[in-house]
């Protein structure tokens, strides 16, 4: 089992920044790809960004490329999402995910482990 706990969400004005964190615990977390998905009201959960287990490879959705940066610290078992130049359309609940493989376009239905989510609200 893998447990994921997100933190860092909140209310921010458009153009501002937030940093999300995901603390992971459980079996061999450092061998899992980690990622962030988000779900806006009335919409399906969607892929945002992912990082390979080694931290070597990262994958971004087109909507956040150039604005968001994912990183991980395997010693601390923590994944970070730095979000800059936030837009109102970034408003959503952000979920941390862990799976042996997460790539651009991975369906949320195939992900093994989830956190409970953290709300990000961007005011225009």
Query: So what's the pLDDT on residue 1?
Result: 86
Q: pLDDT by residue (tens digit) across 63-101?
A: 999 999 999 999 999 999 999 999 999 999 999 999 999
Q: Which two tokens stand for residue 11?
A: 């209310």
The answer on pLDDT for 27 being more than 80 is: no
Q: Which two tokens stand for residue 68?
A: 């968001």
The answer on pLDDT for 123 being more than 90 is: yes
Other CB atoms within a 10 A radius of the CB of residue 10 amount to 11
């Amino acid at each position: 089992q893998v447990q994921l706990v997100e933190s860092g969400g909140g209310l921010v004005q458009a153009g501002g920044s937030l940093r999300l964190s995901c603390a992971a615990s459980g079996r061999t977390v450092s061998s899992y790809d980690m990622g962030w998905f988000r779900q806006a009201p009335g919409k399906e959960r969607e892929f945002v960004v992912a990082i390979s287990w080694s931290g070597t490879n990262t994958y971004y959705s087109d909507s956040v490329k150039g604005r968001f940066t994912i990183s991980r610290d395997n010693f601390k078992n923590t994944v970070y999402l730095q979000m800059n130049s936030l837009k109102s359309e970034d408003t959503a609940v952000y979920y941390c995910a862990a799976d042996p493989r997460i790539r651009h376009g991975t369906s949320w239905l195939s992900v093994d482990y989830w956190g409970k989510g953290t709300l990000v609200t961007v005011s225009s």
